[in-house]
Chain A
Amino acid sequence: MHMINFDNAATTFPKPRQVITTLSEALAATGGNPSRGGHQLALRTAQAVYAARDNVADFFGTNAENVAFTLNCTYALNMAIKGIMSKGGHIIISSLEHNSVSRPVFALSKTRNVSFSIANVYSDDEKTLRELERMIKPSTKAIAFTLASNVTGQITPYRQIGKLCQRKGICFIADASQLCGARQILLDDGIDIICTSGHKGLYGPPGTGILVSNGKYPIKPIIEGGTGTDSKSLVQSSRLPESLESGTVNTSGIIALSKGVDFVKKYTCERIFAEESELCKIFINGLAKIDGFKIYRDSNASYAPIVAFNFRDTEPEVIASYLDNNGICMRAGLHCAALAHNHLGTKQGTVRFAPSIFNKKEEVLKTLRILENTEKILLEN
């Protein structure tokens, strides 16, 4: 049975051919430890990592030294949130946050005298912004907001939030994981720290994440160790990006990630967004014609190419299992985002349709044909 993957919001699969070949080639040819030794193998590897860093920096409209490579977006967000809030203070997060934001913030509230508020995200951006601004206190140090929900795909008004943060002198930490690659995200959008995964919309390998900082708000490292600089000192270097990259980096993954970024640059974010959104539209229109399906979208909001849905009061996992038995991969449940499901009122979770640029219209139509039989199959079982 031909497998169809619509779980690309978790990680994109398949990867572009050049990412796959580069990963293998990098492991074979640039296997030194970058920024450690002075021999040719180490220097060649460090040059390749620098080239990747420079390429990623260009994608986010900044300089190479502002780009730190991490293991994934969760690591980047933990570094940013804990690094900015290390001395306490108030932080505002959104009602759509993934656990990679809500859990570090909750942990800080128990250990570091950090207080937090949760701002609702509405379909009306102005209402969202008003509520957010009302929550700002003199002690507010940061706003950590997702750019797009990993559950519904709803895009938050991040450019306006950026302006608000700049006006108030608050650090804006953005979880760009679900929007990066589908939209061009820049530090010029008013974001101080962009955190994103490399393995989702940037089509890199798993084990790659990115933290991009404009350097305005110093990030206290949460991991200390070797940085390849000032090694005599017991004090962790404060220089970006090495201060956030203690230990050996995922060299081959980073070099391959750069090829994924090249793929997105060539294809363009606009085209990726348009093509994936078109698949979502076909899916939504098809699903709307089948009795019993509920789609979690609001006509007043804008969305990344993700569709959340449920079938009557059936457990989402039952639908995902039924789809899986028919060769279709979709993720069901809470998507590590309990806050978002509380906000939506979907305590059982949802099923998530998340196409990539490699999915075809025919695959969506096949999925819809399978979903047409949902009720009948459920009754039989």
Chain B
Amino acid sequence: MTENYRYMNTATTFGMSSPTMAYKANSILKANGFDSSIVKLANTGNGCVYGVSVRGDVENAYSALRRSGIEPVSIQR
């Protein structure tokens, strides 16, 4: 993650390793006050991938996920 991700108003999507991890990530982000929602990613190259779309302070959102032991498998801006 770089400073470029901070304070963006556009949504950033964290791709997750499984649907369950996507819902877990969404639950953690919401509990931490982030505006997030579940999305099914397009053009992943691997078929179905679920992720969580976040608006706002993406770097802090990323940190919140990592603190909970969740490592996104991809990041799409």
Binding site for B on A (CB under 8 A): 34-38, 43, 46-47, 50, 53-54, 63-65, 227-233, 237, 239, 241-242
Interface string of B1-35 (1 = CB under 8 A from A): 00000000000000001111101100100000000
CA distance A34 to B24 in the complex (A): 14
| Residues on A with beta carbons closer than 8 Å to the beta carbon of B47 | 229-233
CA distance A241 to B47 in the complex (A): 18
Residues B42-62 near A (CB distance < 8 A)? 45-50
Query: Given contacts A47-B38, A50-B20, is CB(A230)–CB(B46) below 8 Å?
Result: yes
| Residues on A with beta carbons closer than 8 Å to the beta carbon of B23 | 46-47, 50, 64
**Contact-residue size bin, chain B (C-beta under 8 Å from the other chain):** 10 to 19
Indicate whether B64 reaches chain A with its CB closer than 8 angstroms.
no
CA distance A64 to B18 in the complex (A): 12
Closest to A232 in B: B47
Closest to B45 in A: A232
| Residues on A with beta carbons closer than 8 Å to the beta carbon of B46 | 230-233
What is the predominant secondary structure among interface residues of chain A facing chain B? Answer: loop
CA distance A50 to B23 in the complex (A): 7
| Residues on B with beta carbons closer than 8 Å to the beta carbon of A232 | 45-47
B40 partner, pick from A37, A54, A233, A239, beta carbons under 8 A = A37
| Residues on A with beta carbons closer than 8 Å to the beta carbon of B20 | 35, 50, 53, 64-65, 241-242
Asked whether, in the complex, the Cβ of B40 is within 8 Å of the Cβ of A38, the reply is yes
Closest to B69 in A: A63
Closest to A50 in B: B23
| Residues on B with beta carbons closer than 8 Å to the beta carbon of A37 | 40
| Residues on B with beta carbons closer than 8 Å to the beta carbon of A63 | 24
B48 partner, pick from A34, A54, A230, beta carbons under 8 A = A230
B38 partner, pick from A43, A54, A65, A229, beta carbons under 8 A = A43
* Given A65-B24, A232-B45, 15 additional A-B pairs, CB 8 A: A34-B19, A35-B19, A46-B19, A46-B38, A47-B38, A50-B19, A63-B24, A64-B24, A227-B18, A228-B48, A229-B18, A229-B47, A230-B47, A233-B46, A242-B18
Closest to B23 in A: A50
Asked whether, in the complex, the Cβ of A237 is within 8 Å of the Cβ of B38, the reply is no
Asked whether, in the complex, the Cβ of A38 is within 8 Å of the Cβ of B24, the reply is no
Question: Min CB distance, B37 to chain A, in Å?
Answer: 8
Asked whether, in the complex, the Cβ of A231 is within 8 Å of the Cβ of B48, the reply is yes
Asked whether, in the complex, the Cβ of B48 is within 8 Å of the Cβ of A50, the reply is no
Asked whether, in the complex, the Cβ of A228 is within 8 Å of the Cβ of B50, the reply is yes
CA distance A38 to B41 in the complex (A): 8
Question: Min CB distance, A278 to chain B, in Å?
Answer: 40
CA distance A232 to B24 in the complex (A): 23
